[in-house]
C-alpha cells in the first residue's frame, strides 16, 4: 500500500486532499455557515475577486464533495499522466475559474438576474475534465448512474451537456435543486478549448 508521501506526489491526489480538508474544516468550524469564500454575484456586496478560485474548493455537503472528488480522482489521474503536473493543475484551475465567470455572465446578461445565493463546488472544473477525457479517450465506455448502459465518452459527455443545457433553460433538473448548470457547461467549453490548445503545443 502506498504511503501518504507517495500518494501526494500526484497533483490530482493533492487537490483531493486539500478539498476534503477544507470541507472538514468548514463543517467543523463554521457548521455550513458562509465563510466569504463562496462565489457571490459580482453585484453583491459579499463579492470578492478571489472567490472565482476559492469557491472551487468548497462544497455544500458530503454527497456533493464525494461525487466531485470521485470525478477528479478518476478523470484527473488519467489526464495528469498525459499532461504532467503543471499543465494539469493549470487546466483544472482555469476550468473552475471560467466556469464561474461564464455562469455569472449567463445569469446576469442572458437571464437578466443575479444569483441570489452563492456558488460552491468543483463541478465546473470536473466538467472541464470530462470534456478533455471525451477528446483524449473518446471510445472509453462510461455508465450513467440512472441508466446502466455503457456509452462511449464521445457520446456520454455531449448527452450530459444537453441535459444540463435543458435543465438550465427550463429550470427543471433531474440532478436536484440549486445546481449551477451553466457553470457545468462553461467548464466543459473551457476544457474543450484548452484540450485542443494542449494538443497543438
Q: In terms of pLDDT, which residue wins out, 114 or 83? A: 83
- Output the pLDDT for position 103: 92
Band (pLDDT 50/70/90 cuts) for residue 112 is: low
Query: What pLDDT digit, counting tens, does each position of 126-182 carry?
Result: 999 999 999 999 999 887 666 678 889 999 899 889 988 888 887 776 666 678 888
Q: Report the predicted TM-score, pTM, of the whole model to 2 decimal places.
A: 0.91
- Output the pLDDT for position 90: 97
Q: In terms of pLDDT, which residue wins out, 9 or 186? A: 186
Do 122 and 72 touch, CB atoms closer than 8 A?
yes
Band (pLDDT 50/70/90 cuts) for residue 25 is: very high
Q: In terms of pLDDT, which residue wins out, 125 or 170? A: 125
Amino acid at each position: 500500500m502506498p504511503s501518504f508521501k507517495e500518494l501526494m506526489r500526484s497533483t490530482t491526489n493533492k487537490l483531493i486532499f486539500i478539498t476534503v480538508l477544507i470541507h472538514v474544516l468548514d463543517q467543523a468550524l463554521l457548521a455550513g455557515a458562509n465563510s466569504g469564500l463562496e462565489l457571490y454575484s459580482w453585484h453583491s456586496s459579499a463579492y470578492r475577486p478571489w472567490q472565482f478560485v476559492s469557491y472551487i474548493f468548497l462544497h455544500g455537503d458530503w454527497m456533493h464533495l464525494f461525487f466531485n472528488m470521485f470525478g477528479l480522482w478518476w478523470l484527473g489521474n488519467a489526464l495528469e499522466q498525459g499532461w504532467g503536473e503543471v499543465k494539469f493543475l493549470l487546466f483544472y484551475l482555469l476550468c473552475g475559474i471560467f466556469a464561474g465567470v461564464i455562469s455569472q455572465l449567463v445569469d446576469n446578461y442572458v437571464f437578466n438576474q443575479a444569483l441570489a445565493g452563492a456558488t460552491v463546488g468543483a463541478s465546473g472544473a470536473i466538467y472541464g475534465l470530462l470534456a478533455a477525457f471525451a477528446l483524449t479517450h473518446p471510445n472509453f465506455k462510461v455508465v450513467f448512474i440512472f441508466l446502466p448502459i455503457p456509452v462511449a465518452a464521445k457520446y456520454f459527455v455531449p448527452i450530459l451537456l444537453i441535459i444540463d443545457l435543458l435543465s438550465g433553460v427550463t429550470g427543471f433538473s433531474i440532478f436536484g435543486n440549486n445546481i449551477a448548470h451553466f457553470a457545468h457547461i462553461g467548464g466543459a467549453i473551457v476544457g474543450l478549448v484548452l484540450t485542443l490548445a494542449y494538443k497543438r503545443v
